[in-house]
Structure 1
Amino acid sequence: MASGRVFQARRLPAHGVQSGWDALLPARTPTTELDRTISVDVAIIGAGFAGLSAAVRLAELDPKLSIAVIDSDEVGHGASGRNSGFLIDLPHDISSGNFGADAVAKSRDEIFVARTAIQQYARLAEVHGWDNDVFDASGKYSVAMTDGGTEHLEAYSLQLKSLDEPNQLLGRGEIEKVTGTPAFKSGLFTPGAVMVQPTALVRAVAAVFQEPVKLYERTPALSIESFSGGCKVKTPKGEVRAGRVILATNGHAESFGFGRGELLHVFTHASLSEPFDPATLGGLRKWGATPASPMGTTVRRINGPDGDRILIRSRYTYHPTIEASDATIKGAGDLHDRKFADRFPSHRHLKMQYRWGGAMALTRNTVPLFGQVAPGIFAACACNGIGGTKSTAAGIAAAELIVGHQSRLGDIFHAFAKPQTLPPRPFVDVGARLNLAYREWRAGRE
């Protein structure tokens, strides 16, 4: 190979404290580190939603392809194992603005993208016998704490009906039968969403790989060298030589120089309660609810052998270093305690056993960083806050792209504009923090 261009990693992922999802699972023995030079058809950097789904799709399209998936940490420790565990099949907000033909087409494309991701997991769940603790096609609720939130849910319900999407509005008494608390004024049920244990899900996907697909954990990519005929990925103890590379590192694409000046690094934060006796709280023992306001508070109730737990997710913080401090997590945790007490006053004595944050990458025009970014290097990055489905779909689309497979999903991803350039620092830093604070203030009790 002739000398090529080198993309050096300026930093490696630092995920922070262990997530509650990971803590609840039994210990797992990671796969071996890469400690030699190997040659494969495709190297995938990142073993989260995007990277794992790309490997799965590549193996479906061409079972003879040799594939190496490398990750700097263990599967499930990164951002994919840190979200709140919703695979959502519908757009977050289609109830505002002009809902004309273009908006209808855009919404239908978003639904197709999300359902393509969900369908891949559904196939794997059926083939490999995953139980409902890993993948539960139960649908989800949206809940309102205020009259304004109820109005939003009613408008959203009408727009869903205009798309022929089934949904059910629930009054105060009906949503109380689900949640066990009278705090919510109303709810909206949509049947197509899936609830997952996110760490268990990515572990389960990684466990299905067979030769010629190989996973190497605790193997960070230190650099990528791009040649006219392929790439070399340097790791601390070895090297991957590949014809093509899929960069499935979400915001850490910027660490290699891709998407620089285009990605906003935002963390969302969660707390998971200590277990409690399920007999002390009515309603269903297993449900998940997103807020009527997109910047509001997500709630889940999960159950296990030691009792039930409540998850609270709220607070978005901006971190251009892609690291959240302990102080940031503590501040988010204080907010979670207040949100929890407001929603479950009868259980306000419960302590939060686990608190953590997870990174996501946003772009100014809410498009992914996708496609060929250098000779032989293809990106499937920038989840824009809906990583469970959008990152998965991006991984599938990247796999299809590099083998030349035509699909509607690929057409949708090819049609995305390029990420828009952000204002220079420090203006973008100030603007991002003010915008997040304002949107959180507007969400209010939601």
Structure 2
Amino acid sequence: MYVATKFPKNSSFSAWVAMLPARIPTLPLEGAVTVDVAIIGAGFAGLSAARRLSQLDPTLRVAILEAGVVAEGATGRNSGFIIDLPHEVSSEDFGGSSTDRAKRDITLYRTAIGLATDMAQEYGWGHDIIDPCGRYSVAISEKGDAHIKAYARQLQGLNESHEILDARGIHEVTGSQLYTSGLYMPGTVMVQPAAYIRAVADSLRNPVTLYEHSAVRSFDRQPGGWSVKTSKGTVTAKRIILANNGHAQSFGLFPGQLLHVFTYASMSEPFDPRRLNGKRDWAATPALPMGTTVRRLSGAEGDRILIRSRYSYHAGLEINEGHVRSAGRVHDGKFADRFPNLTGVKMQYRWGGPMALTWNSVPIFGEIEPGLFAACACNGLGASKSTAAGIAAAEAVVGLKSPLVEVFSNYDSPKNLPPQPFLSIGAKADLRLREWRAGRE
């Protein structure tokens, strides 16, 4: 039996949730139900798995158990990049010897994009939910410029479409004089993550059932399947998909293998778009790892800027408002550096969100016990990697030997982390070092 020792706990709402109408959640699980597949977690991985299961076999009975309300957890705290190319513009992570790894990652990411864009077309979702606008990588230093050029050479070798922009070109996009160069990649799809994941959840139809406010308290193996218990109900299932990322460890699973890191974001109040030149909707990731992600979003009330930066390690899977405020002070400086002509524009929302990492940056995937499948450890890039993992888990559950399942199955096993207190000391020091290396980026 696997028994939960803690449950997801979120600090403040993200801007993505706060800007939407309040959600009326589905009813919690009460009583006993019997299904073919139980999915624990209704984020990118869990809901993508449900979608794929319904495609593979529309008769499958599926129960999705969400501890809170859809979009109020880690998924709704994402920055909304469903990328199609490796994320970090760094020779450390994308060098000439890693072409095979890059192609593998591209397969995963484009599978995730395919699911999202297919749903958008099927249900008529607009750009307020999903926008195939591409993304920029931006630099503000000679070191960043060098990474931009090196990354562009790798993309050329992979025959991937891209465009290098000089300082003037990236200024025309962003309206910021700080950026010294940029690289445009057209394949990324941007989402409003809370609106997107709500839309995915609300698109699911019988025999797929979503139960919100239904935290799983335990699950144990029974003859022919599994029994999953919440505070008011029980699910008897032939198979389980664990799609709860770092909180899988709350059940005693994967001890010593998951590193719990939080990243932080701030969203500005609306401002008059005439105050900032450039495009009104764009998204940029930093040229250097651990740098600053920026999005500009247009709206009826005006435009907003999102700043994402800062990382912190928390073994207990929880942060407090003090951590969010501390990161927010850094965000204010990043915002002022990039957009001095927006003096007086304040940040309206601030929040943090968790990531589950492994030491060697591999997912935890596959059938870990008979009938118990994992799609955990997103290692960042949750919108892309978790979506792909959910799809692959669904295919594995029904026995489909797909190319995606093969990719996930061929990853190395996660390496064990150092014991405490060395893990905490090392993780915190490594994060600070990486942020220092990123500098103003």
Q: TM-score range by the shorter chain?
A: over 0.9
Amino acid at match of 1:17: S
Counterpart check, 1:148 vs 2:150: no
The correspondence for 1:434, drawn from 420, 424, 429, is 429
Amino acid at match of 1:243: K
TM-score, structure 1 normalization: 0.97
Residue 270 of structure 2 corresponds to 275
Please report how far the alpha carbon of residue 227 of structure 1 lies from its aligned counterpart in structure 2 after TM superposition: 2.6
Counterpart check, 1:221 vs 2:223: no
- Cα deviation, 1:170-223, whole Å, max 9, x if unaligned, reads 011111111112111111000000111000010010011110000000110000
Partner Cα distance (2:254, 2:8) in 1 = 16
Partner Cα distance (1:339, 1:192) in 2 = 27
Residue 138 of structure 1 corresponds to 133
Amino acid at match of 1:142: S
Amino acid at match of 1:380: A
2:94/2:151 contact within 8 Å kept: no
Residue 178 of structure 1 corresponds to 173
Counterpart check, 1:236 vs 2:244: no
The correspondence for 2:44, drawn from 31, 36, 49, is 49
Partner Cα distance (2:275, 2:74) in 1 = 33
Partner Cα distance (2:352, 2:300) in 1 = 25
Please report how far the alpha carbon of residue 347 of structure 1 lies from its aligned counterpart in structure 2 after TM superposition: 0.9
The RMSD of aligned alpha carbons is 1.2
2:295/2:306 contact within 8 Å kept: yes
Counterpart check, 1:31 vs 2:26: yes
Name the CA shift for 1:363/1:99 in 2 (closer, same or farther; >3 Å): closer
Task: State the SS of the aligned residue for 2:85.
Answer: coil
Amino acid at match of 1:112: T
Partner Cα distance (1:284, 1:193) in 2 = 17
Partner Cα distance (1:98, 1:427) in 2 = 25
Partner Cα distance (1:135, 1:157) in 2 = 26
Counterpart check, 1:358 vs 2:353: yes
Task: State the SS of the aligned residue for 1:304.
Answer: coil
Amino acid at match of 2:257: E
Task: State the SS of the aligned residue for 1:51.
Answer: helix
Please report how far the alpha carbon of residue 228 of structure 1 lies from its aligned counterpart in structure 2 after TM superposition: 4.3
Residue 420 of structure 1 corresponds to 415
Residue 265 of structure 1 corresponds to 260
- Cα deviation, 1:142-184, whole Å, max 9, x if unaligned, reads 1111111111101100111001011100011111111112111
Please report how far the alpha carbon of residue 92 of structure 1 lies from its aligned counterpart in structure 2 after TM superposition: 2.3
Task: State the SS of the aligned residue for 1:438.
Answer: helix
Task: State the SS of the aligned residue for 1:307.
Answer: coil
The correspondence for 1:390, drawn from 385, 390, 400, is 385
Residue 395 of structure 2 corresponds to 400
Amino acid at match of 2:376: C
Please report how far the alpha carbon of residue 417 of structure 1 lies from its aligned counterpart in structure 2 after TM superposition: 1.4
Name the CA shift for 1:98/1:52 in 2 (closer, same or farther; >3 Å): closer
Please report how far the alpha carbon of residue 18 of structure 1 lies from its aligned counterpart in structure 2 after TM superposition: 0.4
Amino acid at match of 1:251: G
Task: State the SS of the aligned residue for 2:303.
Answer: strand
Partner Cα distance (1:188, 1:411) in 2 = 32
Amino acid at match of 1:272: M
Residue 9 of structure 2 corresponds to 14
Question: Which moved further from structure 2: 388-397 or 366-375?
Answer: 366-375
Residue 54 of structure 2 corresponds to 59
The correspondence for 1:332, drawn from 327, 335, 340, is 327
Counterpart check, 1:296 vs 2:294: no
Give the unaligned 5+ runs of structure 2. Answer: none
1:180/1:281 contact within 8 Å kept: yes
Partner Cα distance (2:261, 2:88) in 1 = 20
- Cα deviation, 1:119-147, whole Å, max 9, x if unaligned, reads 00110000000001111111000111111
Amino acid at match of 2:396: L
Please report how far the alpha carbon of residue 272 of structure 1 lies from its aligned counterpart in structure 2 after TM superposition: 0.2
Please report how far the alpha carbon of residue 98 of structure 1 lies from its aligned counterpart in structure 2 after TM superposition: 10
The correspondence for 2:207, drawn from 212, 236, 257, is 212
Name the CA shift for 1:241/1:371 in 2 (closer, same or farther; >3 Å): same
Count matched residues: 441
Task: State the SS of the aligned residue for 2:417.
Answer: coil
Please report how far the alpha carbon of residue 375 of structure 1 lies from its aligned counterpart in structure 2 after TM superposition: 2.8
The correspondence for 1:121, drawn from 97, 109, 116, is 116
Partner Cα distance (1:418, 1:319) in 2 = 23
Q: Give % identity.
A: 54
Partner Cα distance (1:135, 1:99) in 2 = 27
Amino acid at match of 1:47: A
Please report how far the alpha carbon of residue 93 of structure 1 lies from its aligned counterpart in structure 2 after TM superposition: 3.8
Amino acid at match of 2:190: M
TM-score, structure 2 normalization: 0.98
Task: State the SS of the aligned residue for 1:398.
Answer: helix
2:89/2:148 contact within 8 Å kept: no
Please report how far the alpha carbon of residue 348 of structure 1 lies from its aligned counterpart in structure 2 after TM superposition: 3.0
